[in-house]
Structure formats: structure tokens, C-alpha cells
Structure 1
Amino acid sequence: MSDNATRDIFITGLKNAHAMETQALSIMKPQVKRIENYPDVAARFEQHIAETEGQLTRIEEILSSLDEDHSKLKDMALSFTGTMAAMGHTVAGDEILKNSFANFAFENFEIAAYKSLITIAETGGYNSGANSLKLNLAEEKAMADWLDQNLPAVTSRFLSLREAGDKAKV
């Protein structure tokens, strides 16, 4: 594959990753505002929101180093779909559980996207970009691990609150 083709694929992937992280924010921010009975979940989401904002900055820096910019259209489209996804669970009686499942799936999607981007970066010789993307990947893995490890506790808390007749959904 030519250097130009690899560069084009890398740039497209970076723009997609930027839109993906914009979507992640549009999912997490409404969710965290609604959380009432799961303070540990809210605290971890606040931390990951800050991490995600840093990830966006890293992607923008890589794009800038390539004299490129993120796609405002892709960002807007995925932000909209993220907001709709977050709103879709608000009507569920088990909103916290549905959000937990969806968030775990989304984190693993992000992990796969970063693994692919890192491979492209390394193949194309974009080593500084690969290093930045590895930081993003590590944060996504940490969040996915946290969600995985805490799903039983969130589920137990949901059951306890529901059994006590308290508001359990968020």
C-alpha cells in the first residue's frame, strides 16, 4: 500500500475516532446528570468524561500535525445519535442496568477502534500518533475493566433499591 493510501486511511480513522469520542461525551454527560443512587458510577463517569475530553485533544493534535482537522459533520451526526441513545434508556425501569450494558459495549467498540488505529499508525510510521493513541486505548481499557468489575455491584444495588421500594433506575 502506498504511503498516501495509508495516510488517507489514518486520517479517516482519526476523524472517525474524534466523532466516536464526541458521541461518547453525548452519551455520558446526560447519563451522569441523571444518576442519583449510584455515586460510585457517577464519580467514575465524571473521571472518564475528563479523560474523553483529553482523548479528543490528543486526536486533534495528531490531526493538526498532519495538517488536517476533525469532521464537524461526523462529530455532529454521532453526537446526535449518542444523545438519542442516552435518552432512549431514560424510560426504562432499569435504566442504570441498560446504561451499564450499553456503556460496556461502547467501551469495547472504542478499544477495537484504537487497536486498529494504532496498527495503521505504526504501519505508516506515525509513531508519535501511535503513542498518543495508546494513551487513549489505556484509558478505554481501564473504563471497560471498571464497568466489567462493577456490573455485579450495580446490579445488586439496583435489586436492593427496587426491593426496598426506592427509586432504583438511576
Structure 2
Amino acid sequence: MADTSATREIFVTGLKNAHAMENQALSIMKPQVSRIENYPEVARRLEEHIRETEGQMTRLEELLQQLDESHSSMKDMALSFTGSMAAMGHTIAGDEIVKNSFANFAFENYEIAAYKSLLTVAELGGFPSATSALQANLQEEQNMAKWIDDNLRTVTTRFVELREAGESAKV
């Protein structure tokens, strides 16, 4: 397929949505990491993924610039707000760290789906120069989802152990 105006519009909208999605991810992860005390391995991985996410946003901005477009500040702001509210919602839960793990795993898989779809549109629309950046973002999201999956048992076990010992287990 060639770079048609409809496909280009779909691609640009997808890139803008992905940028806003990554902005939302930051607004979820930053408050989480600031509250973690008893799970240093989770804090370290979230800090690493925050840096990756910032790099992902830069890649998306570069792709948009190549298309003479820019990210949507309105979408960024709206999704950042909803991400902040989602992060705050778990702070009242007695099992905040576990709920955050569930939500983060779900969000990582949402991001994976979004990048797979964007890669398909890039292929259909004839945007081969975007493939490398989108593949890099996809790989980082897949790595994070795998890390959460691989560590859910450890986080849950630590949570239960802390609670059984009468210690603070929230974060």
C-alpha cells in the first residue's frame, strides 16, 4: 500500500495517541515509584522504565516531526490527568503494590498492542523509516511486561510476608 492521505492521517493520529499514552504512563509510574519503600527491585525497574518511556516519547516526537506534525498537547494533558487519577486510586488500597502490579501489567500490554498496530499502519502506509523507532518502543514495552510477569509472584510473596510480620506492606 502507498502513503495515501487516509493512511497518513491514521498513522499521525496513532503517533499522537501513542505520545499521549506514554505521557499517561509517566503520570502513573512517577507517583508509584515515589511511594515505594519495601520493594526496591520494583522501584529500580520503574525508574528504568520511566527513562525508557521518556526516550519513547522522544522517538515519537521525532517521527511526528518527520511528518511535519507535532504531538497533541490536549491529548497529552487529558491522558496525563487520567493516569494521575488512576495512580491515586490505588493509594488507599491496603494492597497497593499488588494492585499497581496488576494495573501496570495491563497497561504494558495495552502499549504493546498500540505499537503493534502502529507498526502495521507504518507498513501499510509506506512509512518504513518509522519502523526502527516503533520496534524499539515495542521491545521496551514487551521487556517491561515480561519483567512484571516474571516478578509478580515475588512481589505478592513479599507483600504477604510483610503483612504476616505486621509490617507496612502497602508500598
* 2:58 maps to 1:57: yes
The percentage of aligned residue pairs carrying the same residue is 72
Matches within 5 A, 1:1-170: 3-170=4-171
Residue deviations 1:122-152 (CA, integer Å, cap 9, x gap): 1111111121000000000000000000000
| Alignment partners' CA distance in 2, 1:110 and 1:37 | 27
Code of the aligned partner of 2:34: K
Count of matched residue positions in the alignment of Structure 1 and Structure 2: 170
Code of the aligned partner of 2:66: S
Question: Once superposed, which parts of structure 1, at least 4 consecutive aligned residues long, lie more than 3 Å away?
Answer: none
Q: TM-score normalized by structure 2?
A: 0.98
| Local SS of the residue matching 1:37 | coil
Which 5+ residue runs of structure 2 have no aligned equivalent? none
Residue deviations 1:64-98 (CA, integer Å, cap 9, x gap): 00000000000000000000000000000000000
TM-superposed CA distance for 1:27, in Å, is 0.1
RMSD, aligned α-carbons: 0.8
| Alignment partners' CA distance in 2, 1:64 and 1:17 | 14
| Local SS of the residue matching 2:92 | coil
| Alignment partners' CA distance in 2, 1:80 and 1:91 | 18
| Alignment partners' CA distance in 1, 2:69 and 2:168 | 48
